[in-house]
Amino acid sequence: MSVKHCRQTYHKDSTADLLVLDDVNLTLHQGEMVALLGRSGSGKS
């Protein structure tokens, strides 16, 4: 599985969006695993 140039923002409030990913590239090969870590409410889902 590959992800290329991933960018993600979340609407934070009426004045600004929160950029959480910017130009992220990731390649996973069969049998590999990855974990996302972060505080509660940080947008891991």
Q: Token match 């409410």: residue?
A: 41
Summarize the confidence of residues 11-36 as an average pLDDT.
88
Q: Tell me whether residue 12 is in a domain.
A: yes
The model carries a pTM of 0.59
Confidence bin at 41 (pLDDT 50/70/90): confident
Q: How far apart are CA 6 and CA 17, in angstroms?
A: 16
Q: Tell me whether residue 10 is in a domain.
A: yes
Can you give the residue range of the structural domain that contains 21?
1-34
Q: Tell me whether residue 15 is in a domain.
A: yes
Could you tell me the two tokens for 1?
């599985």
- How many domains does the chain contain in total? 1
Is the pLDDT at 13 greater than 80? The verdict is no
Q: Tell me whether residue 43 is in a domain.
A: no
User: What letter does residue 1 receive in the DSSP assignment?
Assistant: -
Summarize the confidence of residues 32-44 as an average pLDDT.
86
H-only helix segments in the chain: none
Q: Tell me whether residue 29 is in a domain.
A: yes
Q: Tell me whether residue 44 is in a domain.
A: no
Is the pLDDT at 31 greater than 80? The verdict is yes
Contact assessment for residue 27 and residue 2, using Cβ atoms and an 8 Å cutoff: yes
Q: What is the pLDDT of residue 22?
A: 93
Give the C-alpha distances (Å, rounded to integers) separating 4 from 11, 18, 26, 29: 22, 20, 7, 15
